[in-house]
């Protein structure tokens, strides 16, 4: 294995790791953000006709 190939493999592994880390962080952030936004009770006025 020459130096160029080893450098290319290192670059691909580093880029893949960074990409996967960003994807995991964005998914986790989105899940927690959606959970906080939907975690409330809306005020509803109910009128009963008898």
Task: Convert the pLDDT of each residue in 33-49 to its tens digit.
Answer: 776 656 677 788 888 88
Tokens of 39: 């975690």
Name the H helices within the chain.
Answer: 3-37
Which of 13-31 are b and which e, b meaning 16 or more Cβ less than 10 Å from the residue's Cβ? eeeeeeeeeeeeeeeeeee
The 10s digit of each residue's pLDDT in 14-23 is 999 999 999 9
Question: What predicted TM-score, i.e. pTM, was given to this entire model?
Answer: 0.60
DSSP state of 38: T
Residue 8, pLDDT score: 95
Q: How many CA atoms lie within 13 A of 14 on its CB side?
A: 6
């Amino acid at each position: 294995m020459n130096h160029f190939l080893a450098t290319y493999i290192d670059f691909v592994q580093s880029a893949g790791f960074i990409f996967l880390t960003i994807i995991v962080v964005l998914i986790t952030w989105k899940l927690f953000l959606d959970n906080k936004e939907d975690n409330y009770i809306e005020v509803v006025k109910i009128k009963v006709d008898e």
